[in-house]
Chains A and B, each alone.
Chain A
């Protein structure tokens, strides 16, 4: 059985093909990066997996059951957590309360939810800011909060939509370390959309490249960055990795 299997999904918006017949797999315990130029359909792919909208055709199998017609909350309950590219904090609530909303998925008591939330904040180095209003956080911290909230739902698969964008290289390295640790110690599978190649190369076991909604390359990171088609449409000849 495959953990997450995307089989020929397509999605059009008013005639514009955003994703066309895309297929890829995510084995359990792996980290897969989804890369490609702007408008390639990466976020559309994410939204289809996360249940924001259903694909026009194709199927999405998660642990052998099809999830393409589930609502976002059902997808989350099935074990897939996600972050948003444009961060959506609960601005009026504290950082801790934000994460507790996530942990209430598996915890019924307030105490239990608070305990889980604090653990996760600690893991992401946000515990010192637990009682600040989420609206007061800087962008890197807000990105971190997105991750913390998603992790609080105890997902088996985490979808990260450009969490490294806007981070300084050192902050980026810290995040990479966090994800690597979650992957190794908790067995968390991750799919990430990322433009920061530094993070992609450090994290991904496998890379899938999208261009104009189609998968044009897939494979180990080192191979994909040498692929002629990928260099042509996305990375360019000069890229240093």
Chain B
């Protein structure tokens, strides 16, 4: 990493740390959401961006992680710091099962993506029938102590949730940085670029693909735990829905697949874009149903057309920092 990158990172870090001091509640909620998607996008990026395994079912891990921690808290009063381990364990088991089925039987590319959708979808339908977790009516965590920080039970002010999410996003960035710059990153990228050549260089592709899936699902599980305690309500219809998976992957795609800053930049651009479209349309008085989605779609189309590798690689080139 060069000096320029360090300076940019310091400025960004300072800005993010100081944000709750200056921002109002609305801006803070948007910033928290951006960090959430930056984190989840980073997790997805390990699988697709680094290792080339397309998952279109990451809502599965968000949902299972969320329900695991929320269920423990709701029924037994066990806090999220214990619940997160159950969430990780369940998601790793699920990820490993999907990975094993796919990689053992040579399912790859779009067929692998279909398999991930299938798992997310039947889990969504399955959770409708688990009455213990509220079924289709949803699971609700009691909202309390909004003015004090209770980190142990993850109950507190919006600023607390912001800092928790900031820590997670920064942690994910650091983990991904070290993964990408060491043996796993090299091996994953080799598998992504050409699996046959990777194998000929002594890489057990099955084992390394499994590792990518396991790390990605474990990281996403933690996002689910945060989601549960931030929103306090969970519905299978929402959390496991395929649109949730798409939301997660849009950030890294727009920001730059396989890059470290892509998921972060992409999440920020998308959230700010969605909000500014709403503002502009409201100012113009164009408030027909669906018009917001049309504009959103057109802008995404333009970005993908002109920056097929995402925004970050182009920005990095301008700033003279490495990807």
Chain A positions within 8 Å of B, measured between CB atoms, are 50, 71-74, 76-77, 81-82, 84, 88-93, 97, 100-102, 104-105, 108-110, 113, 149-150, 152-153
Contact = CB atoms under 8 A, between A and B. Distances in A.
Interface of B is mostly: helix
Contacts of B302: none
15 contacts: A73-B201, A73-B203, A76-B202, A77-B202, A84-B200, A88-B196, A89-B197, A90-B189, A90-B198, A92-B192, A93-B193, A101-B198, A110-B183, A149-B197, A153-B202
Contacts of B204: 71, 73-74
B187 A101 contact: yes
Interface of B: 181-183, 186-187, 189-190, 192-194, 196-205, 258
Query: Lowest 10 A-B CB distances belong to which pairs?
Result: A90-B193, A76-B202, A88-B197, A105-B202, A72-B199, A101-B190, A88-B194, A102-B201, A77-B202, A73-B204
Output the residue of A50, A73, A149, A153 with the most chain B CB within 10 A. Answer: A73
A3 to B, nearest CB: 19
Nearest to B183: A104
A101 B200 contact: no
A220 B208 CA distance: 44
Given A93-B190, A110-B181, 15 more contacts: A73-B199, A73-B204, A74-B204, A76-B199, A76-B200, A76-B201, A77-B202, A88-B194, A90-B194, A100-B186, A104-B186, A113-B183, A149-B201, A150-B201, A153-B201
Contacts of A91: 193-194
A89 B258 CA distance: 18
B97 to A, nearest CB: 22
Contacts of A93: 189-190, 193
B257 to A, nearest CB: 10
A189 to B, nearest CB: 17
B201 A101 contact: yes
Contacts of A152: 201
Contacts of B181: 110
A110 B192 CA distance: 19
B66 to A, nearest CB: 35
Contacts of B192: 92
Contacts of B189: 90, 92-93, 97, 101
A110 B197 contact: no
Contacts of A72: 196, 199-200
B250 to A, nearest CB: 22
Contact of A82 (B194, B200, B258): B200
A53 B292 CA distance: 54
Given A90-B190, A92-B193, A105 B201 contact: yes
A90 B204 CA distance: 17
Contacts of B197: 84, 88-90, 149
Contacts of B186: 97, 100-101, 104, 110, 113
